[in-house]
Structure 1
């Protein structure tokens, strides 16, 4: 049934079969709205690809796990957007902008409950392994978000601390998705760990690319406000690297950009980009991203399956970490 369809089509068909009640409309309409936005569906696809890597017959079996990952991810996005006061998500109004903060919180809660509902539909013989991984990852994502918020009130955040935060907030979910697919396919523990670590390293590289795109991306393609991280004084890899290297009068300029209420307009973005250019920050961020790509590929190369079976993951990873949007 599934051999002639791409992973994306397989997942989309499964998602379309998932229904939510009509009432109360202010609970379920935002859920449907969030799921309808044209995201890349990376995480659920990784579940299916993780399963296929070890047993192509288990793609269908892995669908509930893939939907659980997608529902959890969208829960986290709704809540993150509320905390970040973000106006746009995937180029469209965020749930809290379209409805309200309260509606967003409750709709997000409904999504995570639905995620566990899907997880319960996974095969009983692997559920005891899937559930602890999913729970650990869900908590780590929350920890990462808390660290991210804590950083807002810290004058100095080291590059290492930033990497540790994005590993929790973003990367572990990609690793979890791949390992869940491997678990459903009943792969050995060593290979499960390798595919997990591959996903985590790709996740770090993916977030570093996201940081770069926030400043240097095409606004018509990126789907989010260009320079939004700068305007909100977010501690990205660009910021943390600049803070590590900046000196002399440039330090005074940077401090003024972060503190002066005058610099809350687009001019602030251009002034920060000037500082980035002086210290080659973009190039340094790209070099760090490439380091994590290499680490990821070393893990994938170590998995005991044929090169042909790994090719789809190599291709997807290259697209994710070298994307322009």
Structure 2
């Protein structure tokens, strides 16, 4: 089982210290900011692992950037929960439930402001992160406006703008902070593959592990107008006959489950996951000839295993 080592623990403690200091600057009613305090800190860790491919000397610059990315990620989850009408995040009240929708929106904007306050002299990083945020917003707008019978290309574009973008940039930003090495193509592809896989496994939770979804998000949130953005639904739609397609918008969780079994969609998804994992480990093997990737690989192994367990596949 993967456990963070002492260096990683110290790094995350520094990030947490900045988060706690930031929370103390908020009005008193927000001192118990559950959604900001909780989380696995995967994105700061990816920044760290990208950086430590070249160096083990952690500095304040790295910590500030990792902290800023965590704030941006948390701000995006607050907005996502409002849009998706989820009442919980990791089993705790979502920000808009703990406080209110209006407060949650303002807090997310405030967090973005705090994030950029730590990046004021980071012109290159600022440009990457600004573009990342704009892409995330465009992805969400596309998500809100997708057609009833969407296709895999549309969903893939949305994932690339959202989850894939932030995971890729975490590794890329960390990697480019400490080197003049211009060959970062493998790092970029690795981040993209990881981001897509994480989103695919996350989407599987809504289909194959409803009990987990209910415990962590507070409801099944089974509304076809919402779940049609789910990549698993796109897989299903690509195999449906005309009669089944016409009834999709009226289906219940149990009837959707029957269609998944009828068309053996889980097998197709497992095959896709296998191909993506093969690509990921092929890239890691290539990187291992140039860098010490041991801790990065351990983290990836563990994160994929946890995601697969939650997806119940």
Question: Quick check: TM above 0.5?
Answer: yes
Cα drift, residue 318 of structure 1: 2.5
Change (3 A) 1:76 1:131: same
Q: Which residue of 2 aligns with 1:224?
A: 217
Cα drift, residue 184 of structure 1: 1.6
Q: Pairwise mapping of residues 153-302 of structure 1 onto structure 2 (< 5 A)?
A: 154-191=147-184, 193-217=185-209, 219-220=211-212, 223-225=216-218, 227-228=220-221, 232-257=226-251, 268-302=252-286
Change (3 A) 1:143 1:43: same
Structure 2 residue matching 1:86: 3-state secondary structure? coil
Contact 2:172–2:187 (CA<8 Å) still a contact in 1? yes
CA offsets, 1:213-246, max 9 Å, x none? 2222373587235743556433211111111110
Cα drift, residue 301 of structure 1: 3.4
Change (3 A) 1:50 1:64: same
Structure 2 residue matching 1:135: 3-state secondary structure? helix
Q: Pairwise mapping of residues 1-325 of structure 1 onto structure 2 (< 5 A)?
A: 5-18=6-19, 19-20=21-22, 21-26=24-29, 28-29=30-31, 32-37=33-38, 39-58=39-58, 61-120=61-120, 127-151=122-146, 154-191=147-184, 193-217=185-209, 219-220=211-212, 223-225=216-218, 227-228=220-221, 232-257=226-251, 268-303=252-287, 306=290, 309-323=292-306, 324-325=309-310
Cα drift, residue 46 of structure 1: 0.4
Contact 2:87–2:93 (CA<8 Å) still a contact in 1? yes
Cα drift, residue 69 of structure 1: 0.7
Contact 1:130–1:183 (CA<8 Å) still a contact in 2? no
- Partners of 1:230 and 1:208 in 2: how far apart? 19
Contact 1:48–1:62 (CA<8 Å) still a contact in 2? yes
Structure 1 outlier segments of 4+, above 4 Å: 304-307
TM-score (norm 2): 0.87
Structure 1 residue matching 2:162: 3-state secondary structure? helix
Cα drift, residue 63 of structure 1: 0.9
Change (3 A) 1:61 1:5: farther
Change (3 A) 1:270 1:12: farther
Contact 1:219–1:226 (CA<8 Å) still a contact in 2? no
Change (3 A) 1:141 1:248: closer
Contact 1:216–1:226 (CA<8 Å) still a contact in 2? no
Cα drift, residue 209 of structure 1: 0.5
- Partners of 2:221 and 2:9 in 1: how far apart? 30
- Partners of 1:255 and 1:77 in 2: how far apart? 26
User: Alpha carbon RMSD of aligned pairs, Å?
Assistant: 2.5
Which runs of 5 or more residues in structure 2 are unaligned? none
Cα drift, residue 194 of structure 1: 2.1
Cα drift, residue 156 of structure 1: 1.5
Contact 2:205–2:212 (CA<8 Å) still a contact in 1? no
Number of aligned residue pairs: 301
CA offsets, 1:52-98, max 9 Å, x none? 01212246541111101100000111111111111111111111112
Change (3 A) 1:248 1:134: closer
Change (3 A) 1:235 1:218: closer
Cα drift, residue 173 of structure 1: 0.4
- Partners of 2:244 and 2:175 in 1: how far apart? 49
Q: Which residue of 2 aligns with 1:262?
A: none
Structure 2 residue matching 1:119: 3-state secondary structure? coil
CA offsets, 1:144-166, max 9 Å, x none? 11121112xx1211112211211
Deviates more, 1:169-178 or 1:142-151: 142-151
Which runs of 5 or more residues in structure 1 are unaligned? 258-267
Cα drift, residue 304 of structure 1: 7.0
